[in-house]
Amino acid sequence: MEKTAFVTGSARGIGAAVARRLSREGWTVALHCLRSREAAEMLAQELQKEGGRCAVYTADVADRDAITAAIQRAEEELGPISLLVNNAGIARQELFQDVTPETWRRIFAVNVDGPFYACQAVLPHMLHVKHGSIVNLSSIWGLRGASCEVAYAASKAAVIGLTRSLAAELAPSGIRVNCVAPGVIATDMVRQLGEETMAQLREETPVGRLGTPEDIAQAVAFFADDRSAFITGQVLTADGGFIL
């Protein structure tokens, strides 16, 4: 069976690592970005040099028509999507009383509405063939909450509820839905916190280091194929023991 994956937010960070891992495991990969088209094109060239098959698609995941059209184009050009990885996400640190309705809505639009729209876009084919895998990216903050990141943590908790509920609904149709909840990962988003905060987070992680995008990519790749054929509705916390 042809293996084609659509990975949202795959121009850099965790998404790029997921795309690399999947490509090296034989997946055709639809790379997705919003503003980082140049980075996505560079990644596509890298994967193609390694013999991978991929293409880049641009869309705002918070725009239902745009992300649906991007997925439809990917299916026309690369083949039916059998794996969806909902990785695109945004975060913002600020006191709860300073969060504006606009910020709240934008975070939920990207982090929750985006996966909702993307799932609905890929499901027609998956339901037709009664096979497919969806992997959502949440966060440890969606499990335990985070001071000064209420909107982000609440949105990532919603992703977990989406995962578990959709898994129950789709299991009889042969479609698995799982979730990876990364801990503190050394990405641009985390580096913005500053070296002092990063050092503190490193000390709080029992394994003694921050995670890498490749750590998360391995977890996603596990959920992606038949190695996890009997697993659905699960949240894999990849955090180095941060919330033991």
Write out pLDDT tens, residues 12-26: 999 999 999 999 999
What integer pLDDT is reported at residue 31 of this predicted model?
98
Q: What is the pLDDT of residue 234?
A: 98
Q: Domains plus CATH for the chain?
A: 4-238 (3.40.50.720)
Residue 197 has pLDDT above 90, yes or no: no
pLDDT computed for residue 26 by the predictor: 97
pLDDT at 217: 98
Q: Pairing mode, if any, of strands 54-58 and 175-182?
A: unpaired
Note the pTM of the prediction, 2 decimals: 0.96
pLDDT band at 190 (very low <50, low <70, confident <90, very high): confident
Count of alpha carbons within 13 Å of 131, Cβ hemisphere only?
A: 12
Q: What is the pLDDT of residues 165-178, one digit of tens each?
A: 999 999 999 999 99
Average pLDDT, the chain: 96
Q: List strands edge to edge, sheet with 235-238.
A: 54-58, 28-33, 4-7, 83-86, 132-137, 175-182, 235-238
Instruction: Give kind and range of the element (H or E) at residue 182.
Output: strand 175-182
Residue 14 confidence (pLDDT): 97
Average pLDDT over residues 232-240: 98
pLDDT of res. 187: 83
- Cα Rg of the chain, angstroms: 17
Flag whether pLDDT at 180 surpasses 70: yes
Closest CA to 28 of 49, 8, 47: 47
d(CA 179, CA 187): 19
Q: What is the pLDDT of residues 28-54, one digit of tens each?
A: 999 999 999 999 999 999 999 999 999
pLDDT band at 92 (very low <50, low <70, confident <90, very high): very high
Q: Which two tokens stand for residue 239?
A: 């955090």
pLDDT tens digits for range 48-66? 999 999 999 999 999 999 9
Distance between CA 239 and CA 244 in Å, rounded? Answer: 9
Residue with tokens 């789709």: 170
Q: What is the mean pLDDT of residues 187-208?
A: 84
Is 152 marked active-site? yes
Q: Residue 123: which residues within 8 A CB-CB, separation 6 or more?
A: 132, 170, 175
Segment 85-105 mean pLDDT: 97
Which of the following is catalytic: 27, 117, 141, 152? 152
Structure confidence at residue 1 (pLDDT): 61
Residue from 44, 30, 33, 35 nearest 11 by CA: 33
Q: What band does 155 get if pLDDT is binned at 50, 70 and 90?
A: very high
Percent of the chain with pLDDT over 90: 91
